[in-house]
Amino acid sequence: MIKAIAHRGYASKYPENTLAAFAGAIEMEFETIELDVHLSADKVPVVIHDATVDRVTNGIGEVSQYTVAELKELIVLNEEKIPTLNEVLTHFKGSVRFAIELKNENDRYPDIEKHVLNVILTSGVMESVYVISFNHNSIDRLRGLSKSIELGYIKRRPTPALFKRMKKNDIKSLSMNYIYFSKKLVKLVKHHQLQLVVYNMEKKRQMKRVLRYPSVRSTVKDLALFRSLYKKRDSTYKM
């Protein structure tokens, strides 16, 4: 099992954030799939990265302007459909962990936390899920709704104040941009007993550098390259 996160599934081979992309990531033995969530007009959590459907479908406009039934009429890159969060969780339940990113910039969806938590609970995958967001207020609201759900902040560059906030709100993981990654930060995060996740690694040397730290998890797009480096590391260090 590759202890890393497949960014939007196997998005370099299949249409991102689709059932095909997630199935592909699981076939590549990735432990966790990352997926992005918005709300439809009828308040159904749907899996798509952008706030609009323009880039990846044959439609135009904001996700929030479509009902889930209308979103299902759209085609993702000529071959797939936009899945609901419930479809993804129930389809892959028991075979992978889920990193659910709330796309809630500027509180676009004031009640997204409630709807996402409800789907997680009804699908029975609480133990296999952690929810993350750049919107830390959104994550804090979710903590208020559930004391047991695993949560994480995304922050390009962590600050001392952030660690205090994480402790206060029982936030267990921190996702950060690779450009600010350092050995010192790895030690600091370990001191705070948090899970460090690094994203935005495009090059082989960047992946190899992060792989020197077994406690750190990587969020990656090039699954094949990362998998080969991970397997080589395992055979070398027998981790």
Each residue of 106-121: pLDDT tens digit? Answer: 999 999 999 999 999 9
Give the active site residues.
Answer: 7, 49
Closest CA to 135 of 115, 160, 155: 155
Specify the CATH number for the domain of residue 173. 3.20.20.190
**Quick check: pTM over 0.75?**
yes
Q: Mean pLDDT of all residues in the chain?
A: 96
Q: How many domains does the chain have?
A: 1
Proportion of the chain above pLDDT 70, given as a percent: 98
Q: Domain residues for 130?
A: 2-237
pLDDT score for 209: 97
Per residue in 175-230, pLDDT (tens digit) is: 999 999 999 999 999 999 999 999 999 999 999 999 999 999 999 999 999 999 99
Per residue in 25-43, pLDDT (tens digit) is: 999 999 999 999 999 999 9
